[in-house]
Amino acid sequence: MLVSKSRRALLRGLAIAPMAASAAALPFGGAMAVLHQRYEDEPATLERTKDGRSISRFRYHNAERWMTKLETDFLTEPRHTKEALHQVGFVTQQALCAYLLDMGFADAWNARHIKQDIGKALAYAKACGLGHDCPDMARLAAVLSPYWKWGYHYHDWEEDRPRTGGFIPATITPLVRALVDRVHDVTGHPRPKGCQRRPQEVRS
């Protein structure tokens, strides 16, 4: 498993910090402070716990299982783009929250501040060392947010209907698969039963 040096440094900071540490006191405190101010969020207190790790694994497994459904034939056709975006929103939210939980964010903080804002979740994860710098994924996150909007039916004449940003299932799926794989790599969570490693993955 490849883990970035920056993530190792962040985890060392969490290990030597008090049991519950303000994000401002950690190596990524400056980046977190910027995000707290931008989104007007309550400052997060990070505490890595056994329960948090367990919930993180549960969220990651949710992402993997729903990712498998996303990769089925039903959602691969362009006419199913809206349905695919709604499911992608859930998968991405679960994967990113799994990472944040593993870093010590409280599940309650995520529920209160992240909600269904994929762009915000990605911003916090990257600030905390996710190490997934993909411009197309960032653009997709903006299109998805908040992802509940893709679960509604809109008529073509409705001016406030959400726009797909040109994304179709064929371009969406590889981006989200790469993100879920990254969360798998950096958290070290095992894949859920039935979700085997893909042939192109290199053994660690």
Output the CA angle 17-204-2, nearest 5 degrees. 35
DSSP string, 16-70: HS-SSEEGGGSTTHHHHHHHHHHHTPPPPEE---HHHHHHHHHHHHHHHHHHHHH
Structure tokens at 155: 């008529």
pLDDT in tens, the chain (204 residues): 455 545 545 554 444 444 455 655 566 778 888 999 999 999 988 999 999 999 999 999 999 999 988 777 656 777 778 888 989 999 999 999 999 999 999 999 999 999 999 999 999 999 999 999 999 999 999 999 998 898 777 666 567 778 889 998 889 999 999 999 999 999 999 999 887 655 554 443
Neighbours of 165 (CB within 10 A): 12
- 144 and 176 Cβ atoms separated by less than 8 Å: no
User: What are the boundaries of each domain within the chain?
Assistant: 51-187
Q: Where are the alpha helices (DSSP H) in the chain?
A: 5-16, 29-39, 50-70, 81-103, 107-109, 118-127, 135-144, 169-187
Residues in the chain: 204
Neighbours of 204 (CB within 10 A): 8
| CATH 1.10.287, domain 51-187, yes or no | no
Measured N-to-C along each axis, helices 135-144 and 81-103 cross at an angle, to the nearest 10 degrees, of 110
Q: What is the pLDDT of residue 83?
A: 84
For 30, list phi and psi in degrees, rounded to 5. Answer: -65, -45
- 84 and 169 Cβ atoms separated by less than 8 Å: yes
Cα(189)–Cα(129) distance, integer angstroms: 17
Global pTM exceeds 0.85: no
